[in-house]
Amino acid sequence: MLFFLFLAYHYSILMYDQAIGIFDSGVGGTSIWKEIAQAMPYENTIYLADSKYAPYGKRSKEEIIELSTKNTEKLLELNSKIIVVACNTATTNAIKILREQYDVPFIGIEPAIKPAALHTKTEKVGVLATRGTLSSDLFAKTSIRYATNIEVIEVIGSGLVELIEEGKIQTPEMKRLLTSYIRPLIEKNIDYLVLGCSHYPYLIPILRKILPDHIGIIDSGEAVARQTKVILSKNNILNISMKEGTHTFFTNGSLDVLQEILKTSSISYNVKNLSF
């Protein structure tokens, strides 16, 4: 018994310094990384931006599972102790399979319907997400579970991820597209808009200009960071070094777009190209 306790203790001691592995279909999951890095400053992180295969939202479930498996394999090869699937589309379509296939803990991200359903007064909330997320079984289950007495109005954000991946955030084209998706939701009297894609928090400044002040915007970044910390702690693999964490970003797409999106962060990081 003592021997096993000794092994378990050493196992966590060996693991705590390993990185939190994070992946997304592209640059959007950096919105989740920011929350994680802020909440856990001593953790090392590795981020994979799978921009070459973005958008995932238009792909079949099988393709999303295949890409998520590829990213997980790469993050494990790079010595991750936990995997954060910083993509709603990958979470809702693939996390169940990933959890069955690998021993490492996985944290996922899903549209935050629960807080919206709890706080809405008009009993109408909008969800902006990809086709892949909105058509998934997991999203359907979450909606049934948390939104029984309210109306959830779903909108597919076609083209938004593509523009963000091209670095075209503050553009008239983006504003036009967003306005066309959001206006019908305003007319239907929603009082919360749930951002169901990790790319979309980068659109908040534009959304704030389109939405009346009384409509709240909810995204899942903080909740994901909180949950990651809980699971690291439960597994006894929180980094206890009190040394500022290192942050490495790998992309199989444009370095420039990734660098531009990270530029607002005050945390230091490294950005590299990698083929995966």
> Where along the sequence are the contacts to ligand DGL (CB under 6 A)?
24-25, 28-29, 54-57, 87-89, 130, 133, 161, 197-199
Closest approach of Cβ 66 to ligand DGL, in Å? 14
The DSSP annotation for 19-52 comes to EEEEEESSSTTHHHHHHHHHH-TT--EEEEE-GG
Q: How far is the CB of 92 from ligand DGL (least distance, A)?
A: 8
Within 8 A by CB and 6+ apart from 179, the residues are 210
Please indicate whether residue 54 is annotated as part of the active site: no
The strands making up 247-251's β-sheet, listed across from edge to edge, are 106-107, 80-85, 19-24, 45-49, 247-251, 270-273
| 98 sits in which H/E element | helix 88-101
Catalytic residue among 197, 203, 211, 237: 197
Residue, CB closest to ligand DGL: 57
Give the shortest CB-165-to-ligand DGL separation in angstroms: 8
**Between residues 22 and 54, which has the closer beta carbon with respect to ligand DGL?**
54
Which lies closer to ligand DGL via its Cβ, residue 196 or residue 238? 196
Residues 6 or more apart from 64 whose CB is under 8 A from it?
Answer: 56, 89, 90, 93, 94, 132
Cis amide bond preceding 201, omega within 30 = no
Nearest distance from C-beta of residue 162 to ligand DGL, angstroms? 8
Q: Cα–Cα distance between 83 and 165 in angstroms, integer?
A: 22
Nearer to ligand DGL, 71 or 88 (CB): 88
Catalytic residue among 40, 87, 109, 163: 87
197 flagged as catalytic:
yes
Q: Which is nearer to ligand DGL, 112 or 238 (CB)?
A: 112
Residues annotated as catalytic (active site), given as ranges: 87, 197
